Amino acid sequence: MSRTMHTYDVIICGAGAGGIAAAIMFGRQGKSVLLLDKLHDTVETFKGELLQPGSLRILDGLGALQPLREAGGRAIDRLSCATATGEELCAMEYRWLPGDYNYCMTHTYKGILDNFVAILPDTVEFRRRVTVESLTRDSDGRVNGVQLRRGGEREEIHAPLVVVGDGHASKLRGQLGIVVDTTPYAHQVVAIDLVDEPHLATQATTFVTAAGMRVMYPMPHDGGRLYLQVPRGFVNRIGKQGLPTWLDGVIDECPALAPVHDSARRGLETSRVLSARRFIAPDFHRAGAPLVGDAAHAVHPMAGQGMNAAIADSAALTELLEGVDHADSARVDRALRSYGVKRRAEVGTISEFSHRFADMFTDTATKLRFARSTYILGRHGRNERLCYKIMHNISGLGYQPFSILDRLQQLGLPDRNAQLPAHVRRLERV
């Protein structure tokens, strides 16, 4: 059985962070929006827990930040890099940032998305458990809708704008003829939930070890997350039954993690093994259909950019289409060209420094590489200016490029401006 409807200004395929954010923003512009997702509910997973200051600013403008705080969102105002014994190498103080958004916030992936769903405007219709089988096109080849399936019923729905946000393995991206060149990383991480760990406070810490990165940060309700790097395929080789013994060895080699040993042991039961990849789509739109979120790009999670990049996609897309009649294809295409130029450049920058972060913390297999990483991190620890610039670049509040001189100072060249002025080093959260 099939039927046809023609009632929406925008159809959004995929209810991840980018898709829901776009639905909220288009809805607030007065557009009628159909938001579609194949799942019956948001699945809890180990990703997207860290919201950078730029995303907090966007969420606050949407009225979503305070509810997230009230739902247990944990503020993080410091990112620390330390040795396996806990000796700090360098730190990035978010409290140095000007303005109200001088911190990050953690929450579960489901918690963040559920708070987004709660503020969907009345102009947005949200349908779950529907499969978008294909895009439809008009006689000129322009995307003008979707074909849906729910159970045995099929439906064709039309809209002048269809947003593709169906994830990194996007079927719809392929239907647009956009092919991505994905580069997998040679490592994976074991992701573990920690419970009853109030001492994690407001700091996220990455421990640099010869076996790779160990990342720990606070989560809502006195919880935390622990990410432990392993070689690709390692867990398959030892099996889940081998994880407790392996974890004991990790703690022995990284004694700074000893306080969470028992909690990590309990968390192994629900742990997950995650892989990392990177790609940037060659086009962020085609045939009048824009890509957002993981359908458009993937970056290494080391710098905490994935969900934040998706939210920024939607903010840029909806801003450029503000006041544009979606039926005016010429104006829509001009806006989409601007969107593609803007976001591909910004995501390219995000991808590069995320990759550099990953290389710094994960490529420590030899003594030389391990020594390189700890040396450069130690050099940063003696240079507040460079730490500030890195922190500002991952905050989502604007990019400050590194000069050749900056690169040399990262390697040890003296920097007479290494210490930030007192008026910048505020160390307080508004």
User: Domains in the chain and their CATH numbers?
Assistant: 2-72+107-180+281-356 (3.50.50.60), 185-276 (3.30.9)
Per DSSP, 257 falls in state G
Give the pLDDT confidence score for residue 5 in this predicted structure. Answer: 55
For 250, the 3-state DSSP assignment is helix
What tens digit of pLDDT does each residue of 68-127 get?
999 999 999 999 999 999 999 999 999 999 889 999 999 999 999 999 999 999 999 999
Which residues are within 8 A (CB) of 387 and not within 5 positions of it... i.e. 6 or more apart? 90, 91, 92, 93, 380, 381
Three-state DSSP class for residue 112: helix
Alpha-carbon separation of residue 342 from 216, 294, 319, 348, 395 (angstroms): 33, 17, 12, 10, 18
Q: Which DSSP symbol is given to 5?
A: E
Write out the chain's pLDDT in tens, 430 residues: 445 555 799 999 999 999 999 999 999 999 999 999 999 888 888 888 999 999 999 999 999 999 999 999 999 999 999 999 999 999 999 999 988 999 999 999 999 999 999 999 999 999 999 999 999 999 999 999 999 998 888 999 999 999 999 999 999 999 999 999 999 999 999 999 999 888 887 899 999 999 999 999 999 999 999 999 999 999 999 998 999 999 999 999 999 999 999 999 999 999 999 999 999 999 999 999 999 999 999 998 887 888 999 999 999 999 999 999 999 999 999 999 999 999 999 999 999 888 888 888 898 888 999 998 999 899 888 999 999 998 998 899 888 888 999 889 888 889 998 988 877 776 554 4
> Kind of pairing, strands 74-76 and 104-106?
antiparallel
What CA–CA distance (Å, rounded) separates 313 from 308? 9
Q: Return d(Cα 194, Cα 427) in angstroms, integer.
A: 28
CA angle 208, 210, 212 (to 5 degrees): 60
- Of 146, 182, 141, 183, the closest CA to residue 163 belongs to 146
Predicted TM-score (pTM) of this structure: 0.93
User: Please, what sign has the CA dihedral across residues 113, 240, 357, 257?
Assistant: positive
| Residue type present at position 338 | S
Chain-centre distance of CA 154, in angstroms? 33
Rounded to 5, what percent of the chain is helix, strand, coil?
40, 25, 35
Q: Which residue has the tokens 């909806």?
A: 318
Q: Which residues are CB-neighbours of 144 under 8 A, at least 6 positions away?
A: 136, 137, 138, 158, 159, 160, 162, 288
Residue with tokens 């940060």: 217
HEC profile of 119-130: CCCCCEEEECCC
Render pLDDT for 2-56 as a digit per residue (tens, 0 to 9).
455 557 999 999 999 999 999 999 999 999 999 999 998 888 888 889 999 999 9
